[in-house]
Amino acid sequence: MPFLKRCAAEFQKRDDKMKIVSIIPIKLNNERLPGKNTKLLDGIPLVHYIQKTLLLEPRIDERYIFCSSDEIKGNMLPGFTFLKRPKYLDEPASNFTQIFSEFMRQIPADIYIYAHATAPFIECATVRECLDRVLSGEFDSAFCATKIQDFLWQDGKPLNFDAENLPRSQDLVPIYRETSGVYVFRREVFLQYQRRIGSKPFAKEVTFREAVDINTSEDFTLAEIMLKSDIPNGG
């Protein structure tokens, strides 16, 4: 893409202060659960939850809602800026690379926090730790994940254990599953790999509650039950 070379040149000119920007991509015409991002969850628009979380992180310099429709403005909290994205990015075939390429073309930064409205229970402490890890220089990116430590099979074969010498379940090699809640990554990661997870990622293990990702009516019902049951983040 033509703008990538320009982005790389701009990056070389940055000062010592790392510019940190957050983006919440929003599509209002969702296929699986229409209107999910503004649907009321316990009387509060779903998109408000992640906005409130990001507002608690003071190191974020700019916060954006990236949406093709002005209608989302009615569900934006103070502290967020509306950035209109091209309508073609609402198509079902559109992917992260296309969406973020357009955002990054308009909004340069050193570190990006890519958060989803469909993850309402992400804690500020989780965002903070992911950001800390990337800022430390030890990792080039960070993402939320749940640990799976079970006997797993693939294509009729054990995936993470020796079937002839069964280990204890607690000794199994864990596998981590992305929850798609929050991603933190350096600008260079996208420039080099065209993705949000680099070659030295930090996997932030999150709780079952934080891992909730709302894409279907069943997911929404689960989130409602969790709120009514007041299931803590440690449970």
* Average pLDDT across the chain, whole number: 90
Amino acid, single-letter form, for residue 85: R
Provide the CA 198 distance to its chain's centre, in angstroms. Answer: 14
Q: Give ∠ CA 11-13-14 in degrees, rounded to 5.
A: 70
Q: And the tokens for 199?
A: 């070659």
What is the pLDDT at residue 233?
56
Per the rule left: phi > 0, alpha: psi between -120 and 50, beta: everything else, 194 is left
146-198 tens-digit pLDDT: 999 899 999 999 998 989 899 998 989 888 999 989 999 999 999 999 999 99
pLDDT of residue 3: 45
Q: Report phi then psi at 176, rounded to 5.
A: -105, 135
Beta-carbon neighbour count of residue 7 at 10 Å? 17
Q: What is the pTM of this model?
A: 0.87
pLDDT at 32 over 90: no
Instruction: Tokens for 171, please give them.
Output: 């000794």
- pLDDT score for 30: 77
Where does the pLDDT of residue 17 fall: very low under 50, low under 70, confident under 90, or very high at 90 and above? confident
Question: Position 10: which residue type?
Answer: E
**């700019």: which residue's tokens?**
62
Integer Rg of the chain from CA = 19
3-class secondary structure, 48: helix
Q: For residue 231, how many other CB atoms are within 10 A of its CB?
A: 15
Mean predicted confidence (pLDDT) in 200-214: 95
Looking only at the bridges linking them, the beta strands covering 175-186 and 141-148 are antiparallel
List the domains of the chain with CATH numbers. Answer: 2-144+178-229 (3.90.550.10)
The pLDDT value recorded for residue 31 is 76
Distance (Å, rounded) from C-alpha 4 to C-alpha 13? 15
Instruction: Please compute the mean of the pLDDT values over residues 127-148 and round it to a whole number.
Output: 97
C-alpha triplet 22, 230, 42: angle, nearest 5°:
65
The pLDDT tens digits of the residues spanning 45-91 come to 999 999 999 999 999 999 999 999 999 999 999 999 999 999 999 98
Question: In the prediction, which pLDDT does 230 show?
Answer: 66
Give residue 188's identity as a one-letter amino acid code: E
Three-state SS for 95-134 is CHHHHHHHHHHHCCCCEEEEECCCCCCCCHHHHHHHHHHH
**CA 181 – CA 213 distance, rounded (Å):** 7
Instruction: Judge whether 81 and 63 are in contact, CB under 8 Å.
Output: yes
**pLDDT band with cut points at 50, 70 and 90 for residue 33:** confident
CB-count burial class (<10 Å; 0-12, 13-18, 19+) for 175: middle
pLDDT of residue 235: 45
Q: Is the pLDDT of residue 143 over 70?
A: yes
Q: What are the beta bridge partners of residue 143?
A: 183, 203
